Structures are given as structure tokens and as C-alpha cells.
Amino acid sequence: MTRKQRRMTIIGGSLAVLALAAALVLNALRDSIVFFSTPTMVAEKHVEPGKRFRLGGLVQPGSLQRGDNLAVTFEVADGNAKLPVAFKGILPDLFREGQGVVAEGALDANGVFKADTVLAKHDETYMPKDVADALKKQGHWKDDYEAKGPAGSKPAATTAQGNPQGAVR
């Protein structure tokens, strides 16, 4: 073998080992990566009872019913389909009707999603009050925070063009 052939063999072997390692890592992670499915996706895929997955959508207004021993039932919808959810435990503080939710569990034989974990989603504009106050003092203020802020807060002052005063763009 010439030097060039040996070098190409080493490079080819290294690439093969690297590809094999990447394939093994991706195969191992495939089972641990869990995306959430919407009620429409669950209906289309005909998910069999007992298979674990995450269900995401909005809690239907008027569907929340509290029972004994922290038992809760509600419906999760995505605009096209609804799926009843049963959960036993303490719900997150941000959980409420009309709010986004992700529940992890499995369907039972009756088509009810039995959740063992419920996560409430909040919008991406959430900002703790201390951080908002610090940004105000520095002059770096997010323009729509006050408008979406807690009840009782006054809306941000705007200019004639509709832009908030002091907003950094």
C-alpha cells in the first residue's frame, strides 16, 4: 500500500466508526425523545390503548370537573377534536380552562386519556416582576409586557404612531 492509500483507508475507517457511533446514539435517543400529539393527531393515528404519549392542546372552557381525592377530569382540544383527560394529583398553579396544557399518560379502553403528569403552558412573554422593574430602571422595557401584565396594572403609554414610549427596538 502506498502512503496515499493508507491515509485514505484510515480516513474511511474513521468516518465509518464515527457514522456507527452517531447511529447508535440516535437509536438510543429515539425512545427517550417524546413530542406531544394533539387530539386530532391521536384520532388520525388510532393510538392503541396503553401506549404512552404526551397530549397537548387547550383545556376546554366548562369541562373542568373536580372529584374526590384530587381526581380531576377535563377535555383537551385543538380546534378540530377533543379528548377527555382524567388525572389524579395536584394540578400546576398555571392550570386553568382555556390555557395550554401538556399531559403525559396513556389512553384507556374507553378512549379516556389517563394522565399521570400534567404540565401547564404559559406564554413566552412571562417575566417576573423583579426583572421587569429592573428593566424599567435601566430603560430597556419590553413594549407589550404591561399590556399583558397582571390585573390592575396600567397599560403602557404609547406615542401617536402606536409605539410604546421608551421601547427599545
Structure confidence by residue, pLDDT tens digits, 116-136: 999 887 665 656 676 667 667
Return the pLDDT at 158.
Answer: 40
Return the pLDDT at 131.
Answer: 67
Length of the chain: 169
Instruction: Work out whether strand 100-107 and strand 52-59 pair parallel, antiparallel, or are unpaired.
Output: antiparallel
Residues 79 and 58: their CA atoms lie apart, in Å, by 9
- How confident is residue 80, by pLDDT bands cut at 50, 70 and 90? confident
**Adjacent-strand bridge partners of 85:** 74, 113
Indicate the pTM of the whole model: 0.58
Question: Which DSSP symbol is given to 154?
Answer: P
Question: Which DSSP symbol is given to 23?
Answer: H
Alpha helices in 31-102 (DSSP H): 39-45
Return the pLDDT at 27.
Answer: 86
Return the pLDDT at 20.
Answer: 96
> In which residue are the cell numbers 406615542 written?
159
**What tens digit of pLDDT does each residue of 17-64 get?**
999 999 999 888 876 666 778 888 888 888 888 888 889 888 999 999
Nearest by Cα to 66 from 110, 96, 46, 94? 96
User: Which cell goes with 29?
Assistant: 435517543
Q: Provide the CB-side half-sphere exposure for 3 (13 A, CA).
A: 0
Return the pLDDT at 7.
Answer: 94
> What are the backbone angles phi and psi of residue 129, rounded to the nearest 5°?
-60, -40
Return the pLDDT at 78.
Answer: 86
Please determine, for residue 106, whether its predicted confidence score (pLDDT) is greater than 70.
yes
